[in-house]
């Protein structure tokens, strides 16, 4: 009896008869020989079918079989040093589960297609080995992030997705009709996990978040997934260390468990191998100095004005000065969110940090210490024109046993784009949502 297995496990069945359930990825025909390549989601393997070695109906079923037809294949595993995975399959039986019609062939052929076409067929594009490899790395990154927090005594607490108010600024909210009221899709779970941190000490959330900014950059999605830790009694320094640990753990894990996928994607692994603690830490002031030097050297087109937020070219330039992620801390409070604690030494600065990924991938983490004072927080809410009524509960956290606390958010798609070395975040999530894309 042939054993049911997967292509990734096929090496444990050398010389034996196995059954694989998958799809026809490609077929090469050469007279009385067929060379089908099968895929099953775990990998691809080349089969060999000789006309005189199989029953005529088996040869006929495979001959001319259309790409992506679903098949159950039986064959004997043979080691072959020249094969990409190290093994080939001598096919002796095949059952076609569904034949892709000749009149309406699979739209994504193995030749090049434009990105728009591929995005329009994203539901099929995810089958390609490169896209499948990216999704496996994404899953590994998510698992590594969860393990990192779970192993350190953090409790997962899920914030709501429908919320009555803004967290990261009112200009980027998606409104939703909520019976007779107006609600918004959450931009970040932060405010809610500040509450659960006061209940449980160390918490994190992991969920979808939404930003309605009309941005078309290669780093922006309108729907993305964020992992956010929040820690009672933690300072900015504490969470900078936590962020450094999270990133090194994730990169290490991908190098250990997803090396093959990263190679499929074509990632330069030596770049990832450099990502070890400690990461460089520079203040916003130091960053501005470097940016102005960069302008004088002609590496930047415009001179950076002190006081502004960093743009994408600024982040890229700064990151290019280091071969590890760089942590930029203490930005001017006025370019950052309302909830950030001012630096007691320089109240015009916020106790915040952005972690910039190397190789031009930009900000992957943003975080801060949170305002502790009830009065100061109330004032900030007013200054930012936020509806005080909606923040009453949030202010309560400063009234009933307020403590210093800090946290950050890491965008999963930005982390995936960096670790996989992708041009654009649209390939980091199965079905990206962007300014001009809601289909499929």
Q: Interface residues with ligand 4AD (CB under 6 A)?
A: 167-168, 188, 190, 211, 220-221, 224, 226, 228, 363-367, 407-411, 413-414, 425
Give 93 or 283: the residue with its C-beta nearer to Mg ion. Answer: 283
Q: How far is the CB of 366 from Mg ion (least distance, A)?
A: 3
Give 37 or 410: the residue with its C-beta nearer to ligand 4AD. Answer: 410
Q: How far is the CB of 155 from ligand 4AD (least distance, A)?
A: 16
Give 183 or 356: the residue with its C-beta nearer to ligand 4AD. Answer: 356
Q: How far is the CB of 148 from ligand 4AD (least distance, A)?
A: 15
Give 69 or 190: the residue with its C-beta nearer to ligand 4AD. Answer: 190
The listed partner (ligand 4AD, Mg ion, none) that binds 405, CB under 5 to 8 Å by sort, is none
How many residues sit in the footprint of Mg ion (CB under 5 A)?
1
Nearest to 377 by CA among 131, 116, 194: 194
Question: How many residues are listed for the chain in this entry?
Answer: 440
Question: Which residue in 43, 366, 402, 411 binds Mg ion (CB under 5 A)?
Answer: 366
The listed partner (Mg ion, ligand 4AD, none) that binds 226, CB under 5 to 8 Å by sort, is ligand 4AD
Task: Tell me how far apart the alpha carbons of residues 157 and 365 are, in angstroms, rounded to a whole number.
Answer: 19
Give residue number: closest CB to Mg ion.
366
Burial state string for 388-409 with b = 16 or more CB within 10 A and e = fewer than 16? eeebeebeebbeeebebbbbbb
Task: Tell me how far apart the alpha carbons of residues 240 and 39 are, in angstroms, rounded to a whole number.
Answer: 43
The listed partner (ligand 4AD, Mg ion, none) that binds 414, CB under 5 to 8 Å by sort, is ligand 4AD
Q: How far is the CB of 399 from ligand 4AD (least distance, A)?
A: 21
Q: How far is the CB of 140 from Mg ion (least distance, A)?
A: 24
Give 43 or 189: the residue with its C-beta nearer to ligand 4AD. Answer: 189
Q: How far is the CB of 209 from ligand 4AD (least distance, A)?
A: 7
Task: Tell me how far apart the alpha carbons of residues 228 and 210 are, in angstroms, rounded to a whole number.
Answer: 14
Give 189 or 366: the residue with its C-beta nearer to Mg ion. Answer: 366
Give 267 or 336: the residue with its C-beta nearer to Mg ion. Answer: 336
CB within 8 Å of 219: residues ≥ 6 apart: 312, 361, 362, 414, 417, 425
Give the position of tokens 């490899």: 133
The listed partner (Mg ion, ligand 4AD, none) that binds 224, CB under 5 to 8 Å by sort, is ligand 4AD
Give 22 or 366: the residue with its C-beta nearer to Mg ion. Answer: 366
Which window, 129-137, 218-226, 313-321, 364-372, contacts Mg ion (CB under 5 A)? 364-372
Give 68 or 140: the residue with its C-beta nearer to ligand 4AD. Answer: 140
Q: Is 279 exposed, middle or buried (0-12, 13-18, 19+ CB in 10 A)?
A: buried
Task: Tell me how far apart the alpha carbons of residues 142 and 134 are, in angstroms, rounded to a whole number.
Answer: 12
For 28, phi then psi, to 5°, come to: -115, 135
For 203, phi then psi, to 5°, come to: -135, 165
| Tokens representing residue 142 in the block | 């998510």
Q: How far is the CB of 62 from ligand 4AD (least distance, A)?
A: 44
The long-range contacts involving 28-32, CB below 8 angstroms and separated by at least 24 positions, are: 29/63, 29/64
| Tokens representing residue 107 in the block | 């739209």
The listed partner (ligand 4AD, Mg ion, none) that binds 365, CB under 5 to 8 Å by sort, is ligand 4AD
Strand order in the sheet with 162-163: 162-163, 181-185, 175-178
Q: How far is the CB of 309 from Mg ion (least distance, A)?
A: 9
Per DSSP, the residues of 116-145 read HHHHHTHHHHTTSHHHHHHHHHHHHHHHHH
Q: How far is the CB of 391 from ligand 4AD (least distance, A)?
A: 14
Q: Does 294 bind Mg ion (CB under 5 A)?
A: no
């Amino acid at each position: 009896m042939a054993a049911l297995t997967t292509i990734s496990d096929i090496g444990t069945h050398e010389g034996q008869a196995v059954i694989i359930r998958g799809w026809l990825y490609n077929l090469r025909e050469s007279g009385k020989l067929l060379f089908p390549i099968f895929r099953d989601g775990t990998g691809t393997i080349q089969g060999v079918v000789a006309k005189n070695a199989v029953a005529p109906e088996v040869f006929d079923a495979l001959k001319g079989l259309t790409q992506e037809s679903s098949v159950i294949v039986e064959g004997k595993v043979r080691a072959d040093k020249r094969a990409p995975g190290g093994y080939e399959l001598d096919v002796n039986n095949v059952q076609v589960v569904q034949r892709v019609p000749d009149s309406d062939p699979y739209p994504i052929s193995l030749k090049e297609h434009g990105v728009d076409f591929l995005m329009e067929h994203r539901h099929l594009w995810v089958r390609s080995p490169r896209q499948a490899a990216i999704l496996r790395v994404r899953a590994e990154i998510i698992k590594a992030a969860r393990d990192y927090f779970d192993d350190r005594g953090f409790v997962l607490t899920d914030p709501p997705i429908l919320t009555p108010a803004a967290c990261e600024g009112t200009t980027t909210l998606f409104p939703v009709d909520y019976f007779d009221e107006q609600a918004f899709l959450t931009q970040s779970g932060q405010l809610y996990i500040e509450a659960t941190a006061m209940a449980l000490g160390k918490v994190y959330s992991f969920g979808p978040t939404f930003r309605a900014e009309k941005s078309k950059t290669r780093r922006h999605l309108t729907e993305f997934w964020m992992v956010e830790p929040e820690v009672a009694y933690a300072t900015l320094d504490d969470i900078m260390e936590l962020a450094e640990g999270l990133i090194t753990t994730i990169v290490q894990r991908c190098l250990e468990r997803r090396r093959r996928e990263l190679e499929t994607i074509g990632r330069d692994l030596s770049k990832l191998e450099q990502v070890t603690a400690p990461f460089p830490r520079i203040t916003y002031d130091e960053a501005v100095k470097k940016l102005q030097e960069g302008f004088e050297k002609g590496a930047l087109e415009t001179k950076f004005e002190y006081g502004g937020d960093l743009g994408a070219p600024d982040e890229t330039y700064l990151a290019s000065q280091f071969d590890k992620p760089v942590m930029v801390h203490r930005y001017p409070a006025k370019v950052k969110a309302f909830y950030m604690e001012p630096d007691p030494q320089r109240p015009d600065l916020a106790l915040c940090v952005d972690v910039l990924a190397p190789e031009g991938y930009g900000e992957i983490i943003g975080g801060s210490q949170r305002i502790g004072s009830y009065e100061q927080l109330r004032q900030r809410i007013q200054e930012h024109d936020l509806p005080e009524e909606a923040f009453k509960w949030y202010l309560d956290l400063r009234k009933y046993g307020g403590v210093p606390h800090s946290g950050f958010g890491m965008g999963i798609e930005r982390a995936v784009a960096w670790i996989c070395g992708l041009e654009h975040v649209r390939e980091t999530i199965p079905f990206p949502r962007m300014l001009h894309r809601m289909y499929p």
